[in-house]
């Protein structure tokens, strides 16, 4: 099983979040010892906002630990459908589509997902194994 790592977990560690950093770092250590960790271009884009160069991002997310994986086109379709269902249920426009791309990627690729945004992923991607920090 591969583990797709949500950007919120990576950002909590990178920003040394006072509530989540330690738990997220421990979860990354635990799961990297057991499974391969993956990120996709959406996750990289969200995390990279706090860095000045791609080299800094690569240093923070070494590719030998965080394998880069393309977003499957079938995941893009699934993300669109999940986002539509979210909007039809009254979801606000402030919710970002990237979360739906991440959840759909985990679903289509049969990856577990390490995230602290549990409720949304369980609602719209019930087949995904959710790992929480």
Tell whether the model's pLDDT for residue 93 goes beyond 70. no
State the pLDDT at residue 8.
95
pLDDT in tens, 98-132: 898 999 999 999 999 999 999 989 999 999 999 99
Give the rounded distance of the alpha carbon of 119 from its chain centre. 14
Whether residue 120 contacts residue 8, with contact meaning beta carbons closer than 8 Å, is answered with no
The residues with which 36 forms a beta bridge, in sequence order, are 2
Confidence of residue 95 (pLDDT cuts 50, 70, 90): low
Whole-number pLDDT of residue 91: 75
CA atoms within 13 A on the CB side of 119: 1
pLDDT digit string, tens, across residues 11-69:
999 999 999 999 999 999 999 999 999 999 999 999 998 899 999 999 999 999 999 99
Q: Which two tokens stand for residue 70?
A: 């393309």
- The reported pLDDT for the residue numbered 89 is 85
More confident residue, 97 or 92: 97
Q: Is 90 left (phi over 0), alpha (psi -120 to 50) or beta?
A: left
- For residue 94, pLDDT over 60 is answered with no
Q: What is the pLDDT of residue 72?
A: 86
């Amino acid at each position: 099983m591969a583990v797709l790592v949500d950007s919120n977990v990576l950002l909590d560690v990178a920003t040394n979040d006072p509530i989540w950093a330690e738990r997220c770092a421990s979860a990354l250590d635990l799961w990297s010892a057991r499974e391969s960790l993956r990120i996709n271009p959406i996750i990289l884009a969200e995390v990279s906002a706090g860095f000045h160069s791609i080299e800094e991002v690569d240093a923070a997310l070494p590719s030998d630990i965080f394998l880069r994986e393309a977003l499957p086109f079938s995941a893009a379709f699934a993300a669109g459908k999940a986002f539509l269902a979210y909007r039809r249920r009254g979801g606000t426009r402030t919710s970002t589509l990237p979360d739906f791309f991440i959840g759909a990627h985990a679903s289509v690729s049969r990856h577990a997902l390490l995230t602290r945004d549990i409720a949304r992923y369980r609602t719209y991607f019930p087949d995904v194994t959710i790992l929480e920090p």
